[in-house]
Amino acid sequence: MEEYDFERGTINNDGTTTYRGKETKERSTIFSGTNSGLGKVFLLMFLGLGITAAIAVVLPMLLLRVEISDPEFAVSLYLGLIIFSAIALVILTIVAHVVCFKKEVGGTTVFLIYSAFMGILMSSIVLMYNVQIVGYAFLCAAGSFGVMALYGAVSKGSVKVMGYIGFGLLGAVLSLTIAYFILSLLGIHYEALYWFISFLGIVMMLAFTAFDVHQAKRLAESGNLNNNLAAYFALQLYTDFIYLFIRILYFLSRFAKKD
pLDDT tens digits along 99-110: 877 766 788 999
Instruction: Determine the Cα–Cα distance for residues 41 and 158; give it in Å rounded to an integer.
Output: 20
3 DSSP β-pair partners: 11
Report the alpha-carbon distance of residue 36 to residue 98 in Å, rounded. Answer: 24
- pLDDT beneath 70, residues of the chain: 1-35, 103-104, 157-158, 256-259
Separation CA 18–CA 8 (nearest Å)? 8
Q: What is the pLDDT of residue 5?
A: 41
Q: Is residue 7 part of a domain?
A: no
Asked if 56 contacts 125 with a C-beta cutoff of 8 angstroms, the reply is: yes
Q: Please, which residues bridge with residue 9 across strands?
A: 5, 19
Residue 73 structural domain:
38-258
In a domain, 5, yes or no: no
Alpha carbons 111 and 46: distance in angstroms, whole number? 12
How far apart (Å, rounded) are the C-alpha atoms in residues 105 and 23? 34
Is residue 21 domain-resident?
no
Tell me if 171 sits within 8 A of 164, measured CB to CB.
Answer: no
pLDDT value at position 32?
A: 46
Residue 163 inside a domain? The answer is yes
Which pLDDT score, from 0 to 100, does residue 179 have?
80
SS3 19: strand
Q: What is the model's pLDDT at position 84?
A: 94
pLDDT at 166: 78
Length of the chain: 259
Give a yes or no: residue 149 inside a domain.
yes
Q: Is residue 87 in some structural domain?
A: yes
Does residue 13 sit within a domain? Answer: no
Domain total for the chain? 1
Q: Of 193, 191, 207, 205, give the one whose Cα is nearest residue 245.
A: 205
Residue 105, H or E segment: none
Q: What is the pLDDT of residue 198?
A: 81
Q: How many CB atoms lie within 10 A of CB 161?
A: 12
Question: Is 166 part of any domain?
Answer: yes
Question: Among positive and negative, which fits the CA dihedral 35, 41, 46, 50?
Answer: positive
